[in-house]
Structure 1
Amino acid sequence: MQSLKGANLFVTFLLELGVIAAVAVWGFTLEASLLVRVVAGLATPALFVIMWALFGAGSSPRFPLRGTWRLALELIWFGGGALAWSTATTPLVGLIFFALWAINALLRLRLQGSLLLDDDSQAPGPV
């Protein structure tokens, strides 16, 4: 069970990288001037990284969210990545990306009892 949990956390990390890549690709492939594409391709991933660092990063976000708020964050974060993949490539790529996140989230809920990446509040304390 621990190896499945570890593998699922690794997939979560890959999905997080996928979101950053998606919004960068989206920005650089906009039908706009070169300046707008470069700014969007660099600024959008930076904004997504800041959002994730503040509210969702691993076990130590600045402002940790739980329950419905955590779900809302992940829907915005991974849904935004899926939408970016859909816009920059094809809708099927975005749909597959979102489905992978949904499976990953369900596995985190099942294996950890939470969407948090390292939810130590569930773990027993020292004896």
Structure 2
Amino acid sequence: MSGLKGANLVAMFLLELGVVAAAAVWGFTMPGSVLVRVVTGLMAPTLFILMWAMFGAGQNRRFPLTGRWRLALEVIWFGGGALAWASATNLLVGVIFFVLWAVNAVLRVRLQGNLIPGG
């Protein structure tokens, strides 16, 4: 069972990278001038990273969230990534991304008892 838990943690890390990539792709492909796209393409992932570092990043988060608050954070964060993918590419990509996160979250709860990676 620990192999499945490890694989699920790797999947979560890849999903986290997917959120950051989605924010960047969304920013760089939005309509507007080149300056607006560059600023948005750099700032959107930066804001997502700051949010995750403060509230969600494993054992090193500044403001630990548990229970419903952790679930709310993940829905907002990964949901934001899904919306960014849907907006930058197409709806199906966003839906698939969100479903992958949901499966990952359910597995984390089943395998380790909570949403916090390694918790």
Answer whether TM exceeds 0.5 for this pair: yes
After TM superposition, the score normalised by the length of structure 2 is: 0.99
**What is the letter of the counterpart of residue 61 of structure 1?**
R
CA root-mean-square deviation: 0.4
Q: Gapped runs of 5+ residues in structure 2?
A: none
Which has more helix, going by share of residues?
2
In terms of Rg, which structure is larger? 1
Could you list the per-position Cα deviations for residues 74-97 of structure 1 after superposition, in whole angstroms to 9, with x for gaps in the alignment?
001000000000000000000000
Query: Does residue 103 in structure 1 map to residue 96 in structure 2?
Result: no
Query: Does residue 93 in structure 1 map to residue 93 in structure 2?
Result: yes
Match of 1:117 in 2: 117
Query: Does residue 17 in structure 1 map to residue 38 in structure 2?
Result: no
After TM superposition, the score normalised by the length of structure 1 is: 0.93
**What is the letter of the counterpart of residue 53 of structure 2?**
A
Could you list the per-position Cα deviations for residues 54-89 of structure 1 after superposition, in whole angstroms to 9, with x for gaps in the alignment?
000022201110000000000010000000000000
Structure 2 CA distance, aligned partners of 1:37 and 1:71? Answer: 31
Q: Gapped runs of 5+ residues in structure 1?
A: 120-127
Runs in 1 of length 4+ with deviation above 2 angstroms? Answer: none
Structure 2 CA distance, aligned partners of 1:59 and 1:8? Answer: 17
- Identity %, equivalent residues: 68
Structure 2 CA distance, aligned partners of 1:60 and 1:42? Answer: 24
